[in-house]
Amino acid sequence: MKNIVLLFLGFPFLVFGQFLGGKLTLEAHGEFYYSFDMNQPENHEKPNFLVNYSKHNEIGPNLILVQGKYQEEKFRANLGLMLGNYVTYNLGSEPQWAQFIYQANIGVKLSKKHNLWLDLGIFESHLGFESVIGTSNATLTRSLCSELSPYYESGLRLNYTSPQEKLYIALLYLNGWQRIDKLPGMQYPNFGMQITYKPNDNFKINYSNFLGFANPNQPKWFRHFHNLFAQIGTEKKGQIILGLDLGQDRAWDSVYRFWYSPTIIYHKLLHKQFELSLRAEYYSDPYQVNYSFVNRGANGLEAVGLSTNVDYKFNQHITFRFEPKYYLFLNEIPQYGNRNLTLTASMSIDL
């Protein structure tokens, strides 16, 4: 059954791989969820800074994804196509042709002796420790630092991986802050960098940044954003993820508008089929840089979040997850209040 599904979904990738004669792998991911918001919004919409699991009291797909990955010695390519609630809520401002692309890129190897590549196209974001693919994350829902920073990007990426894969370095030239198609009026360049060091299986540390112009309403405001996270330990013995986001927009009049978000997650494999995660997070955006309320007189987004989730793996392909999550909004959100408790359950399949 698995082979039939992959053959049907990945037929274009198979044709591509046979034409070039290289190594081709196919992947498919699907996640359906139900989430109940105790505030019970009448329009079934959670606060719109949440782009994943954003519907209340409905069963629906957060993400359905199929992708093909092609690799040979001096050339590689990736193409992923997707649909679901995440697409609706996070890519609505992109051109229609781009709204269903998870990634689409090609790369060439620049050195015979070193693992140095130049990639061009649409990529997963180099910022943060969480992906839109649910089962690749320790928690069911995403952290606020992930929901309010890029999940994807487009441009050029020059990247190097050391022989033992302990060190990864990337330099990027980007179309913008989570942009596929560059916005009208945004004429300035954008840059990024990523450095990942993993000396062993028990420790990983990553620093990423974005330097450029991200605000379409203020095209001359310069943004510098920094993401730092560390993973300590292993799933079997217990793993701690420590993350910190720090960003700032600066206008030509030297007014600084900053935001930051620390996050801590504990993740442990309780049994070969059960996993447990605990999360505490804080998000402060007093100037409404990344999220603007309808009522501009509000004092920005400031929130404390607590969550726990239990995962049950039926087998290597199918996972059930359940997560209660509580938000305390230190500044009342217009038309939503000071508190929010949600119960979310999901079923995922990975092929």
CATH number at residue 176: 2.40.160.10
Quick check: pTM over 0.75?
Answer: yes
Cα angle value 154/104/290 (rounded, 5°)? 35
pLDDT at residue 9, rounded to an integer = 47
Res 4: pLDDT: 40
Q: Which position has the higher pLDDT, 209 or 255?
A: 209
Compute the average pLDDT of residues 152-179. 95
CA distance 169 to 151: 19
Residue 12 has pLDDT above 60, yes or no: no
| pLDDT for residue 181 is more than 50 | yes
Confidence tier at 82 by pLDDT (50, 70, 90): very high
- The C-alpha angle 217, 85, 320, rounded to 5 degrees, equals 135
**Domain count for the chain:** 1
The mean pLDDT value of the chain amounts to: 88
Mean pLDDT, range 295-306, rounded to an integer: 76
The alpha carbon of residue 66 and the mean position of all alpha carbons in its chain are separated, in whole angstroms, by: 17
pLDDT of amino acid 252: 63
Q: SS3 of 309, please?
A: strand
Reported as a single tens digit per residue, the pLDDT across 32-55 is 999 999 988 888 888 888 999 999
Residue 298 has a pLDDT of: 60
The domain in which residue 202 lies consists of 2-350
| Pair of tokens at residue 19 | 């034409």
| Confidence band for 97, pLDDT divided at 50, 70 and 90 | very high
